[in-house]
Amino acid sequence: MKLILANPRGFCAGVNMAIESLDRALELFGTPLYVYHEIVHNRPVVERFRKRGVVFVDRIEDIPEGSNVLYSAHGVAPAIREAATSRRLHAIDATCPLVTKVHLEAVRFAQEGYTIILIGHEGHDEVLGTMGEAPTNILLVQDVSDVERLDLAENARLAYLTQTTLSVDDAEIIIHALRLRFPQIIGPSRDDICYATQNRQEAVKQLVPEADVVLVLGSRNSSNSMRLGEIAQSCGKPAYLIDRADEIDDGWFKESDTVLITAGASAPEEVVRECVEYLERRYGATVTSRTVREEHVNFPLPRELRVVALT
């Protein structure tokens, strides 16, 4: 067996910042420490923090008044911030700056009188946060059929935005459909789909022709991880999304297979190493690392943590 390790893979700058923020908040404030939604969409990461005393909640009302709360990398709506203030919560904002960019675009377009078409997945934490910035101005579309069902005047003042973790190819298809139907529609000055999502997808596209099987490390509620598996499958290769090595099924492989291994932007490197070590033991696999694109992006810790650290 041959293993190809795709680079880049795993944690992006936004996920690194969010996880470092939670680690630092635990050092500074101890427990109980609350996080609104999962810090990132990855089961091993969330379970590790639960064992350290972090409490993940889906309702601000479930957090005792005066407590410390950290907002996840996916961002929150203004109504959540207001609810936190009313409960006198001490909030730490670990929203990914690339998600914040989309929020600010939504606010700007709404203030300028645009109806905003948001391309994304219904119910995703990031989508809920973005729509909350301008709830009366934003319509959600998930596919081309949603575009066809839009009940808008042909000359309506329109703008589009996208969830940051979409498939680049799928988003382009929907944007094309929007432009065909509404030629006047405008978009963001820079692409909303984040650099890490695009790079991981590009690595799979370039390397998958060499593989017989693809393993994607990531959780099922991780949009960008799901997209990596879908891309591999669209290229005609079997792809399996797993959280850990103990989910590997030997029925997926032949001993002579070439296996491409990648990881979504919220999947830790240790689970990649566990999978590699299992396949080395079980099949005597040899490993080659292949870099498609270099990444050198870093985001600072939230202001709230920097201020506390200084004082």
pLDDT mean by block of 10 residues, the chain; 311 residues: 98 96 96 96 97 97 97 96 97 96 97 97 96 97 97 93 93 96 92 92 97 98 95 97 97 97 97 98 97 95 80 55
299 touches 16 (CB < 8 A): yes
* 126 belongs to the catalytic site: yes
The half-sphere exposure of 272 on its side-chain side, counting CA atoms within 13 A, is 24
A 10 A CB-CB count for 211 gives 23
The half-sphere exposure of 302 on its side-chain side, counting CA atoms within 13 A, is 26
As a whole number of angstroms, the distance between CA 213 and CA 179 comes to: 37
Set out the domains of the chain in order of their start, with CATH numbers.
Answer: 2-11+195-291 (3.40.1010.20), 13-97+299-310 (3.40.50.11270), 103-181 (3.40.1010.20)
What pLDDT shows up at residue 38? 95
What pLDDT shows up at residue 152? 94
What pLDDT shows up at residue 61? 96
What pLDDT shows up at residue 239? 98
Q: Which of 126, 133, 230, 304 is catalytic?
A: 126
What pLDDT shows up at residue 154? 83
**Could you tell me the pTM of the whole model?**
0.92
Helix (H) or strand (E) holding 216: strand 213-217
As a whole number of angstroms, the distance between CA 97 and CA 73 comes to: 9
Task: Quickly list H helices, the chain.
Answer: 13-29, 43-51, 78-86, 97-111, 125-133, 144-148, 168-181, 195-207, 223-234, 269-283, 303-310
Could you tell me the two tokens for 276?
């590699």
